[in-house]
Amino acid sequence: MKELIEPSLGLIFWTGISFLILLFLLRKFAWKPILDAVNTREQNITAALATAEKARAEIADLTKENEKLLAEARLEKDRILADAKKTKDSILSEAKTAADAEGKRIIETARLTIETEKQAALTEVKNMVATLSIDVAEKILRRQMENKGEHEAFVKKHLEDIKLN
């Protein structure tokens, strides 16, 4: 059992020689491809990280550009809405002014028509009064009256007839 705990000198020697040969063979044939694979892997990882960083920067730039475009679109929308409101107000103002002018024109036309009709009615009344006066005077002159009382009664009678018409 002691042999299992303490190895012999020959075993240590041959194990060391085997290890050195294995180390030499690994270094000669396997070490370089392993290091090349590790270096290639490291370069690939570095390139992937650089690409990811570049993509992140591009995404950040695109995000900023999108935010800028959105802000410009909002400003443009606000400007268009303000222009539309101005146009609406202008159209309403013009329509109100036109309606006021048309209303005033209609009122003035109606006033002139009423005035014309009033003058025509007054002229007609004057003509009727003149005609009636001439008719009364003619009747009075045609009739020969002998006394003054008869004459006054006749005039009163015709004046009452005129008032009734």
pLDDT confidence of residue 164: 53
Residue 143 backbone dihedrals phi, psi, to 5 degrees = -85, 130
Indicate yes or no: pTM above 0.75.
no
What domain range includes position 84?
A: 10-164
Residue 4 lies in a domain: no
State how many domains the chain has. 1
Residue 26 lies in a domain: yes
pLDDT confidence of residue 131: 82
Residue 3 lies in a domain: no
143 neighbors 154 (Cβ within 8 angstroms): yes
117 neighbors 102 (Cβ within 8 angstroms): no
Residue 1 lies in a domain: no
pLDDT confidence of residue 3: 62
Residue 5 lies in a domain: no
**Mean pLDDT, 10 residues at a time, the chain of 165 residues:** 71 92 88 88 95 95 94 95 94 92 93 93 86 76 64 75 62
Helix (H, G, I), strand (E, B) or coil at 147: coil
Q: Which residues contact 155 (CB under 8 A, 6 or more apart)?
A: 136, 140
pLDDT confidence of residue 4: 63
Residue 152 lies in a domain: yes
Residue 2 lies in a domain: no
End-to-end CA distance of the chain: 166
Residue 153 lies in a domain: yes
- Residue 71 has which token pair? 């802000």
pLDDT confidence of residue 146: 59
- Residue given tokens 């990280």 in the structure block: 49
